[in-house]
């Protein structure tokens, strides 16, 4: 069967669905082709169920504090893990239903095709038994968990990824979390707090992509208090009685299951994008214009995780809208990345905003830092471990980036991203209102230190570039004035 449409969108995730919203404003002649379950990665196995599991685990962990707060009987509290997992799935289903109700549930069989697509040439697709031709094609097929072939062949029955973990009726007694990026750290900590014996293993020396070495050290110090983190050695795995023996350097542990979080790769293999005959980048991703998202001179566009790079929901949705617009308009729009912001929802949060530490230049930039130890609100919450570092440009005084691990850093990250987006100087940010006692006072203190550095007269031998953030008792900046 043959069919022609103005636009074929491949992939019904946030990128594909947002593309359809733009296309719909111009034409009704489109198809959305989705292989695999509907409901988006974010709602089914990504952002949402992981955050439900984290919230549940953090709430259960609160029972540790009850005795200190004078609440007795806390020791008797026990977690019914199958019920907890059921709760994760219930909420997950709610999120999936919310997505479906507003999108694919409303599409008829002419518009929504539940099959995998394969490209035959830049305008032709094979979709099951059908052949679809399209004036433009948007590839928004998302990404999948990396599982090394040798491990898949040898340890398939022991491997869990995000595709399986939320489907478990009961959790294993012990797990090696291999890969300590955002997924490994978020899920690893949640599993640990739900009572699983977790060992975290990574062949690198950083957790959650933290580039700033001081923040990475602070994060390691915090998370290693909770569960072992074995870094800097290539993990070796073998089968043994009781499960799998995992070695990292001199250390080894026997675990029931392996949770793999080694990164995600664009879902492009079965699409045969090689038939576009355009230059290819990493992981089989065709090189596309970073602004219009158009692949070479073709009418094919890439959006979301399928385009590679950091996986991020807002980015996927924004790229979907641009690709959707460009697929139906002659005058192209450009995708402009906002100030980069990455937040890991571990407890405490990890966040990185704006310029990364690798681009920090001592000659032209200053950094100031604040530990959360003496921050009043953090002490009240019993979550006062962590470090905030903010970078500014020496000449202009503008805030350029920040890295942090600490309580409620998800909010500090937003404030800083907004300030950077507005090109604010440290002085302008300090002129903004702050309340008391709030976590934002840690930011206020850091900005004050940064301001001190920026206004300091130049010393012989160069500027003092680093403020050692010790001893500034931040029981509220108001109290310090
Ligand atoms: C555990 C986890 C936690 C995360 N947490 C966060 C977070 O807290 N914050 C955040 O911003 N981001 C987070 N992310 C990332 C975020 O979920 C993704 O960036 C986003 O959902 C990607 O959307 P997408 O539309 O590009 O892809 P998807 O939502 O993956 O959609 C792609 C669709 O294409 C389909 N498909 C694949 N191949 C084909 C084919 N050949 N033919 C037809 N259809 C095909 C797939 O089945 C899928 O339905 C997380 C991801 C994971 C895995
Ligand atoms: N809160 C969030 O925004 C959030 C949450 C989860 C995931 N995500 C996104 O999803 C994507 C995937 O996340 P991820 O954590 O899987 O990937 P990642 O690439 O960020 O981290 C993978 C980790 O695995 C390690 N690794 C790779 N191969 C290894 C091996 N053979 N042995 C040991 N360690 C190995 C790497 O050193 C790295 O630390 C990322 O783009 C991430 O930003 C975002």
Task: Give the domain 2-39+103-144+265-328 fold.
Answer: FAD/NAD(P)-binding domain (3.50.50)
Span 339-368, average pLDDT: 97
> Which residue lies with its CA nearest to atom 6 of ligand 1?
47
- What is the tens place of the pLDDT at every residue in 327-346? 999 999 998 889 999 999 99
The per-residue pLDDT for range 426-448, each reduced to its tens digit, is 999 999 999 999 999 999 999 99
Ligand 1 atom nearest the C-alpha of 33 is 43
From residue 293, give the alpha-carbon distance in Å to each of 150, 278, 288, 307. Answer: 35, 14, 5, 9
Would the pLDDT of 351 be above 80? yes
pLDDT tier for residue 458 given thresholds of 50, 70 and 90: low
Which protein residue's CA is at the shortest distance from atom 39 of ligand 2? Answer: 181
Please name which of 91, 51, 60, 18 lies closest in space to residue 343, comparing C-alpha atoms.
Answer: 51
Residue 191 to residues 50, 173, 368, 410: CA-CA distances in angstroms? 11, 10, 34, 21
Indicate whether this complex's ipTM tops 0.95: yes
Rounded CA-CA distance 232/404 in Å is 22
CA of 72 to the centre of ligand 1 (A): 44
183 pocket-lining for ligand 2 (C-beta < 6 Å)? yes
* pTM assigned to the model: 0.94
Same fold, 2-39+103-144+265-328 and 341-464: no
Q: Which amino acid residue places its CA nearest to atom 1 of ligand 2? A: 344
Ligand 1 surroundings by CB, under 6 angstroms: 10-16, 33-36, 40-42, 45-47, 50, 116-117, 140-142, 162, 183, 267, 270-271, 304-306, 311-314, 316
Helix (H) or strand (E) holding 446: helix 440-455
Mean pLDDT of the chain: 94
Of ligand 1's atoms, which has the minimum distance to the CA of residue 115?
A: 43
**180 pocket-lining for ligand 2 (C-beta < 6 Å):** yes
User: Which of 130, 301, 311 to mutate to test ligand 1, by most ligand atoms within 8 A of the CB atom?
Assistant: 311
Residue ranges per domain, the chain?
2-39+103-144+265-328, 149-262, 341-464
Task: Give the DSSP letter of residue 458.
Answer: P
| Domain 341-464: assigned CATH number | 3.30.390.30
Per-residue model confidence (pLDDT) at position 463: 43
Cross-sheet strand order for the sheet of 251-255: 236-240, 243-248, 251-255
The rounded Å distance from CA 208 to ligand 2 centre is 7
pLDDT score at 1: 77
Sequence length of the chain is 481
Return the CATH number of the domain spanning residue range 149-262.
3.50.50.60
Query: Which pLDDT score, from 0 to 100, does residue 292 have?
Result: 97
pLDDT > 60? residue 464: no
Nearest to 186 by CA among 51, 3, 8: 51
């Amino acid at each position: 069967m043959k069919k022609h449409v103005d636009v074929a969108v491949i992939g019904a995730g946030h990128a594909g669905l947002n593309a359809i919203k733009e296309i719909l404003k111009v034409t009704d002649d489109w198809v959305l082709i989705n292989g695999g379950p509907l409901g988006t990665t974010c709602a089914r196995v990504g952002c949402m169920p992981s955050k439900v599991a984290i919230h549940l685990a953090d709430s259960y962990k609160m029972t540790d504090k009850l005795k200190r707060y004078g609440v007795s009987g806390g020791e008797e509290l026990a977690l019914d893990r199958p019920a907890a997992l059921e709760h994760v799935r219930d909420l997950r289903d709610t999120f999936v239903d919310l997505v479906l109700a507003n999108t694919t549930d409303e599409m008829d069989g002419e518009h929504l095709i539940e099959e995998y697509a394969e490209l035959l040439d830049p305008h032709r697709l094979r979709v099951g038994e059908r052949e679809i031709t399209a004036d433009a094609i948007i590839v928004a097929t998302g990404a999948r968990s990396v599982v090394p072939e040798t491990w898949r062949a040898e340890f398939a029955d022991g491997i869990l990824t995000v595709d399986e973990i939320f489907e478990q009726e009961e959790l294993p007694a012990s797990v090696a979390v291999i890969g300590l990026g955002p997924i490994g750290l978020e899920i690893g900590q949640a599993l640990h707090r739900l009572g699983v014996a977790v060992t975290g293993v990574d062949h690198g020396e950083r957790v959650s992509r933290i580039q700033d070495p001081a923040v990475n050290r602070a994060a390691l110090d915090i998370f290693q208090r909770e569960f072992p983190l074995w870094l800097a050695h290539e993990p070796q795995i073998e089968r043994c009685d009781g499960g799998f023996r995992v070695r990292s350097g001199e250390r080894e542990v026997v675990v029931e299951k392996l949770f793999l979080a080694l990164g995600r790769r664009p879902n492009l293999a079965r699409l045969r994008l090689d038939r576009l005959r355009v230059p290819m980048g990493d992981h089989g991703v065709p090189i596309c214009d970073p602004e219009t998202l158009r692949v070479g001179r073709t009418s094919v566009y890439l959006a979301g995780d399928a385009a590679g790079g950091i996986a991020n929901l807002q980015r996927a949705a924004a790229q979907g809208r641009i690709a959707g617009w460009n697929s139906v308009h002659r005058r192209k729009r450009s995708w402009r990345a906002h100030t980069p912001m990455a937040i890991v929802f571990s407890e405490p949060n990890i966040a990185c905003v704006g310029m990364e530490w690798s681009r920090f230049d001592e000659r032209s930039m200053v950094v100031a830092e604040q530990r959360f130890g003496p921050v009043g609100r953090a002490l009240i919450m019993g979550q006062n471990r962590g470090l905030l570092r903010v970078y500014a440009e020496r000449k202009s005084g503008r805030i350029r980036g920040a890295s942090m691990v600490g309580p409620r850093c998800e909010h500090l990250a937003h404030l800083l991203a907004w300030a950077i987006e507005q090109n604010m100087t440290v002085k302008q940010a300090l002129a903004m209102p702050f309340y008391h006692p709030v976590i934002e006072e840690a930011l206020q203190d850091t900005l004050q230190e940064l301001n001190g550095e920026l206004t300091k007269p130049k010393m012989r031998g160069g500027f003092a570039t680093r403020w050692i953030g010790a001893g500034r008792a931040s029981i509220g900046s108001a109290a310090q004035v």
